[in-house]
Amino acid sequence: MARPGTRATVRDVAAETGLSIATVSRVLNGQANVAPHTRELVLRAVGRLGDQAPRPRTGEGLARGAVYVRCPYLLTDYFGLIVSSVGETIELHGGQMILGTGESAQHTPVLAGLPDRPGIAGAILILPPEPAGELVRLRDRQFPFVVIDPSTSPPKDIVAVSAAHFAGARKLMAHVVELGHRRVGIMGGPPEWLPSEARLAGYTASLADAGVLPSAELLRSAPEPNTEHGYRAACELLDLPERPTALVAFNDKMAVGALWAAAERGLSVPGDLSVAGFDDIDLSRATLPMLTTVRQPLQEMGRMGVTLLMRLLSRHRLEALHVSLGTELIVRGSTGPAPH
């Protein structure tokens, strides 16, 4: 065991676990040729040794390096707001940001090499497309990172920031139900995404409160939540023998597609059809009528992500590993009473 006030070594971890120094080194350096139970044994020992434990290949705060921000998507009004907020907050902390962006980066292996890159203290991962196993391996290497807007449930002991998708969707559908709508088409996002699942649960919860059971014929899922797929889903729903009186979309872009489909069919919004979105991006205020939607705290998500990363870099123990930020219902002209 290390003496009080001194830094523990790999040898101390080996003595704590009864394993060889070579085995402990392989675990701490993230090598793959280690049995899962052995890796867990070493990581528990590191936890017991606390701040004295060896944590190779990580920065001691931003003085030791920059923050790598991975956002493998086009920096539109959605991701652009998050990234700009992340960058501004990093600058306020006196740090620098290295940005990896663009859709082509979705298929570029990045995470495994982050701990070995010189000058990188930690990372912000925005809607990471990588499977949970890669995030776990990065965590096991004791590399500090925070996930913003996770697409799947974050694995254990991974810090993440998201919006309150379920609560926001429930408020939105409650608003639609209060207007008298009972036959509501739901245009969901990719079914494997965590936000899709949470928003769908929120939508159906409010319908259930009104005594309406979800109908499979009124549910559509889009492989990508954009305007084109929103248009296609809305066309299918509006061409049903008994069309819905309202369409609630996964996001504002899909809701805009629904407005296109309604206009093609000569339906007035909100007189014949109510339409609602989610996110409250600039696009929601550029339509006629403007969209009823749910405001996500996108910039606050960026700020909170950096704040949590700073605490990780300072070796603080975080009590809340998954922070869910509140959303706000924004009622505009695209929703109105159900037609008789």
**CB neighbour burial string for 299-310, b if at least 16 within 10 angstroms, e if fewer:** eebbbbbbebbb
Structure letter (DSSP) for residue 213: -
Residue 63 has a pLDDT of 56
* Same domain for 29 and 83: no
pLDDT tens for 186-205 read 999 998 889 999 999 999 99
Q: Which residues contact 281 (CB under 8 A, 6 or more apart)?
A: 76, 77, 78, 81, 251, 252, 253
* Same domain for 284 and 214: yes
* Same domain for 258 and 114: no
* Same domain for 284 and 304: no
* Same domain for 271 and 202: yes
pLDDT tens for 12-64 read 777 878 888 777 777 766 555 667 677 777 777 766 665 555 544 433 455 56
Percent of the chain's residues with pLDDT above 70: 87
> Distance between CA atoms of 145 and 122, rounded to whole angstroms?
5
Residue 61 has a pLDDT of 54
* Same domain for 77 and 123: yes
Dihedrals phi, psi of 68, to nearest 5 degrees: -85, 125
Residue 124, helix vs strand vs coil: strand
* Same domain for 180 and 285: yes
* Same domain for 22 and 99: no
* Same domain for 71 and 28: no
* Same domain for 171 and 158: no
Q: What is the DSSP string of 165-180?
A: HHHHHHHHHHHHHHTT
Q: Which residues contact 130 (CB under 8 A, 6 or more apart)?
A: 111
> Distance between CA atoms of 70 and 305, rounded to whole angstroms?
13
> Distance between CA atoms of 125 and 113, rounded to whole angstroms?
14
Q: Which residues contact 200 (CB under 8 A, 6 or more apart)?
A: 169, 186, 188, 219
> Distance between CA atoms of 156 and 153, rounded to whole angstroms?
9
Do residues 149 and 301 make contact, with C-beta atoms less than 8 angstroms apart?
yes
Report if residue 202 sits inside a domain. Answer: yes
Q: Parallel, antiparallel, or unpaired: how do β-strands 328-330 and 293-295 relate?
A: antiparallel
- If you average pLDDT over every residue of the chain, what do you get? 87
Closest CA to 25 of 187, 180, 142, 165: 142
Please, which pLDDT band fits residue 65 given cuts at 50, 70 and 90? confident
* Same domain for 292 and 179: yes
* Same domain for 309 and 251: no
pLDDT tens for 307-336 read 999 988 887 777 768 899 999 999 999 999
Structure letter (DSSP) for residue 329: E
pLDDT above 70 (res 215): yes
In angstroms, the Cα distances linking 81 to 60, 155, 299 are 28, 26, 6
> Distance between CA atoms of 293 and 112, rounded to whole angstroms?
38
Count the neighbouring beta carbons within 10 Å of the beta carbon of residue 156. 9
Report if residue 4 sits inside a domain. Answer: no
Q: What is the CATH number of the domain that holds 66?
A: 3.40.50.2300
Closest CA to 331 of 295, 293, 297: 293
Total domains present in the chain: 3
Residue 312's domain comprises: 62-163+298-324
**Residue 118 vs residue 255, higher pLDDT:** 255
